[in-house]
Structure 1
Amino acid sequence: MPIFAVHYTYSEATVAGRDTHRPEHRGWLADQLAAGALLTSGPYPDGSGALILFQAEDAAALQTLLAADPFARERLIDDVRVVEWLPVLGAFAS
């Protein structure tokens, strides 16, 4: 199954909203982990965004999944970049 790197970009304007909705966002991520769709996730230390690695059947299925993220629903993500990723070595290589 393809792996996708999802880059979220945040701004200062969404800090309060992200603080409010973070528990729900992390619960959604935990659900994706339990379902096998999420491989790993975490914010960038400078607060500018986050990197999330997902497995999905295809880009369309991933877009449907991402639309359910509480941060997306609340419009707290300034930009989303999705790139299919092919790990060759390391923890995520097959």
Structure 2
Amino acid sequence: MPKYIMWGSYCEDVIEKRAPYRQEHLNGLVSQKEQGILVTLGPTKDVTKVFGIYDAENEEIVKKLIETDTYWKNGIWTEYEIKEWIQAI
């Protein structure tokens, strides 16, 4: 199955602004992980970017997961880019 990477950006003051949505966001990620779609996802140390790896049949599945996430819907993630990834090792 293809793998996809996602790079995205967080809004300013993300720590404060994400608080009302954080648990719903984390619950969704756990569900994606349990389904075998999400490999990993997390912020950079400075909390300006988000990086994720997905194991999905196609890019549209990844796009739908991102755009239905509460962080996207509430402006916590402000932009993202998806690329198919070839895992060499």
Structure 2-normalised TM-score? 0.89
Identity rate, percent: 25
Whichever residue aligns with residue 11 of structure 1, its letter is C
Q: Which runs of 4+ in 1 moved over 3 A?
A: none
Aligned pair count reads: 89
Where structure 1 has 5 or more consecutive residues not aligned to the other structure, the ranges are: 90-94
Answer yes or no: is 1:43 the counterpart of 2:53: no
Deviation of residue 19 (structure 1)?
A: 2.2
Question: 1:82 maps to which residue?
Answer: 82
**Per-residue deviation, 1:13:** 4.6
Decide which structure has greater strand share.
2
- Name 1:19's counterpart in structure 2: 19
Q: How far apart are residue 76 of structure 1 and its match?
A: 1.6
Q: For 2:65 and 2:21, how far apart are their aligned partners in 1?
A: 17
Give 2:48's aligned amino acid.
S
- TM-score by length of structure 1 reads 0.85
Task: Report the counterpart of residue 63 of structure 1 in structure 2.
Answer: 63
> Whole-Å Cα distance in 2 between the matches of residues 79 and 49 of structure 1?
10
Cα pair 2:44 2:51 within 8 Å, conserved:
yes
Which sections of structure 2, spanning at least 5 residues, go unmatched? none
Match of 1:92 in 2: none
RMSD of the alignment, in Å? Answer: 1.4
